[in-house]
Amino acid sequence: MKKLNLIFILSTSSIFLAAQSNAQFLPNTLILKVKEQYRPYCNETSINVPSLTSLFQLLQVDKCVKKFHGQKPPEQKFNKYGYPMVDLSLIYEIHYTSAGSIDKAIKALASTGVFTYAEPHYIPQLLYTPNDPMNSSQYALTNIQAYNAWNIHKGDTNYVTGITDTGTELTHSDLQSNIKHNYNDPIDGIDNDGDGYIDNFQGWDVGMNDNDPTWQGNAHGVHVSGIAGGATDNGIGISSGSFKCKFVMIKIADASGNLIAAYDGIKYAAEHGCKVINCSWGGQGGGQYGQDIINYATYNYDALVVAACGNNGADQLFYPAAYNNVLAVASTDNTDTKSSFSNYGYYVGISAPGENILSTWNGNSYLVSSGTSMASPCVAGGATFIRSYFPAYNALQILQRLKQTADNIYAISGNVSYINKLGTGRLNLYRALTDPAAPAIDYSNISVTDHNNQLFNNGDTLRISGDFINYLAPTTNVTATLTCLSPTFQISPLTNTFSVGSLATMATVNHSLSPFTFKVNFNFASNTQVTFKVNISDGTHSWTKFFYVYMNADYLNITINDVFSTATSKGMIGYNQANQVQGIGFAYNNDNLLYEAGLMVGVSTTSVSNCVRNSSGGTDNEFKPNATIFQYMPSTFSNMDTYAKFSDSLSSSMMGLEIEQRTFAWTNIPHNKYIIWDYVIKNNSSATLNNFFAGIFADFDIDASTYSSNKAAYHSGTKMGYSYRTTNPPLYGGVKLLTNSAPPNFYAIDNISGGGGGVDLTSGYDKVKKYTTLSTSKLTAGQGVAGNDVCQVMSSGPYTIAPGQTIRVAFAIIAGDSLQDIINSAIDAQTMYNGLALAVQSINNKHELSFAVFPNPTNKNLHVKCMDFNLENLVQIFDISGKMVYQNVFSGELIIPIEQWNKGVYLVKIKNESTIYTTKIITE
């Protein structure tokens, strides 16, 4: 699946989310959503799809239950506003006991095609920093204009804030009178209201599955309860902005205070009448499951979710606050200045007081605490209060009303650095009640495409479209202008305005047929984040929306023959990041055979440079790109040639290497089942490199659903290490050494506890193990008849590389339907490689491979690119008579418009301090 290069957008395609290293999750536990077509195979405690049986056995699944017992699918597809209703009836939680990473389990489940998504069960964290009581003042009520608002309205007891937290103190004298009771289910041991919860009279504990939401482990929820719904005008303790509005506690924690049922709590709150739901918790782990729950609360039950944006003091996405349809809250102090601890970002919707906030505490006491955990219930209680005044407004209309009536706080000196990243301002309840009705327009469902490879490179045209929706008062003459915050010499607008016209309340206009268009005309550094800003206006009111697009991804997908793969700028193969992010692996006939692969080079057990897994659960990203990967157009040696250059300067044991990487792929039979990776490795250090080995580490998962039924072996006749599955039908993947300047070496790895007699990767893959697998042999892996999870290293060495000297090492990565199939491809790859001019050319005469001039022939634009973007080059172009018709200086890439030139042959000359390169082009 290709991922959109945007924030704030979740694809409707299947999502299989790798575990994020900076997020906490339950071990050996996954959240799955079954596709609709498999509903007949599902019941409360099992998914009886035949193709899953062996995989569940392989994973040793000991628990498979519907996440929400008895959940029914929605009776209609859309709500009255046209939003799609969310179906939670096919969401399961499984627990398994097999060894291996959670990411491999996710990949295996994804390969079955049964699931819409599979992701970890994330455990969010609480968001407050308590301190000792300092004073009894409640400056927040003054700042948010609560007292003036109460002169107009005092809330309504029928409107309830759902607080998902660690629990509350049911007997607190400043809370007990404001707890919303469910009189349809009194405490008598019977489920009187038939909602599936026995005696949920005063809330529910979804973490412990009982009817007592009293706090356990952490009194965080007691403090939050007082801010959102503390009793007001009762002559005791504190006041809350919601005044007469009630609250209900939904405890989402276990006995130790761990938030094990956070999103379950949102679901419960929505289903039990809470029109606003507070989430003073979160984390950096976000997936489609969380977005599903948010959409379910919003669309199916018309509930507004309010969430804290986090306490890391950073511009970072934080969930659930960063999900669509959530009102994300940042924290301010008593002067309306951003709290130092508060996160911020374009996704923040509003700010509220969250620093030194006095509220209820356990033991019928009070405490001053700080955090976005305090700011969020201030907004949530206020939202319930405002919703009780505007009962006809839906959840998203209340969200927009609060945003449009907030006080602008960006003129405050401490906030100048955070313009547009603290929402529309600080909450103002009085203005939310009294400001005149006005429209509120948002831009959402944003799509960006280049009608090409979605990598957004120099020369591409970006087409950007989305939905304009007006949530509040009708308006006319709406126009929108899209601005890129990068300079126009980098990205220039072609069409950046759109006439939206009239928008009635809750009306939507999509402009996919008339998108904004922008020309990319700059050689961006890899994965550069570019910010776009949409300004919307009706002549009286204006609205702004920001979003990001990531430019010039430093990888290329190779998809021209029967094997698909991804080449990168930093030595990784198949994927550009760990955990199968950015890339397509190594696929053959719709089967992805690869979990991870990359280049490794080394001279000793203490000196290895590489880009694969390490001993601490991460990845050794030790190759620094010197030239972003590029496709030659037209290709010289194959149907798709790519080039990249990197060094090992990021390595903890740097050897002073410069590595040029080329890949070659062909469309014609019999060369359509392999891709060649060719490396020219130069020693730029002053020391001779002895006992040097270079190889490719590959964790082949031949059929992800049966990755623990694989074996690995070596075919000496073709110098090829390969892996295959023991189940039918046969499927093979291999890596073949093509060069003969040093002997081949193959090491097969049993990726199981103990290592099966070889290196043990389950305890990490350090440099000692890496050099061992580069330099010594183990010819088979896969225990017993069925096999197990295996990896392999195909390498060559030892080499001796003197200072300034280069070596060439090349491999073919192959897929096929049998051992004989990949042997045939290995022979064909060797024949093809031997016939390439580069296989015998002088390494010192390689400058022509450092430039690209394309397309050729051309009739519009001519691209001139230097692979080393640190060099300054002079380009000169001469016509057939020898007259110079063009001259310019450039670094990286230059685009030359030639539409007005005469048709014919031209000579292109490129010069820099060390090279002169010439080539001919034809204009048509």
DSSP letters, 796-864, are EEEEEE-TT-EEEEEEEEEEESSHHHHHHHHHHHHHHHHTSGGGTS-TT--GGGGEEEESSSBSSEEEE
Nearest to 914 by CA among 879, 886, 873: 873
Conformational region of residue 884, where left means phi above 0, alpha means psi within -120 to 50, and beta covers everything else? beta
Which strands form 365-370's sheet, in the order they lie side by side? 129-130, 365-370, 357-361
Active site residues: 165, 220, 373
CA distance 563 to 17: 24
CA distance 141 to 399: 20
Residues sharing a CB contact under 8 Å with residue 773, sequence separation 6 or more, in sequence order: 695, 697, 747, 749, 759, 793, 795
Please report which helix (H) or strand (E) contains residue 240, including its range. Answer: none
**Strand, helix or coil for residue 389:** helix
**Strand, helix or coil for residue 872:** coil
CA distance 764 to 84: 45
3-state helix, strand, coil in the chain (%, to 5): 15, 40, 45
Q: Cα-atom radius of gyration of the chain, to the nearest Å?
A: 31
Nearest to 532 by CA among 545, 543, 520: 545
Record the tokens describing residue 162, joined without a space: 């759902």
Beta strands in 7-142 (DSSP E): 15-16, 25-34, 42-43, 46-47, 61-66, 91-96, 115-122, 125-126, 129-130
The letter for the amino acid at 851 is F
Rounded (10°) CA dihedral 911, 912, 913, 918? -30
Please report which helix (H) or strand (E) contains residue 429, including its range. Answer: helix 429-434
36: number of Cβ within 10 Å: 11
Question: Which residues are 830's β-sheet partners?
Answer: none
CA distance 40 to 780: 43
CA distance 65 to 29: 12
Residues sharing a CB contact under 8 Å with residue 40, sequence separation 6 or more, in sequence order: none
CA distance 597 to 578: 10
Residues sharing a CB contact under 8 Å with residue 23, sequence separation 6 or more, in sequence order: 120, 122, 283, 284, 285
453 and 557 Cβ atoms separated by less than 8 Å: yes
Q: Indicate the burial class of 53 (C-beta count within 10 angstroms; 0-12, 13-18, 19 or more).
A: exposed
Rounded (10°) CA dihedral 141, 147, 152, 158? 40
**Strand, helix or coil for residue 287:** coil
CA distance 619 to 635: 32
Please report which helix (H) or strand (E) contains residue 717, including its range. Answer: none
Per the document, the length of the chain is 924
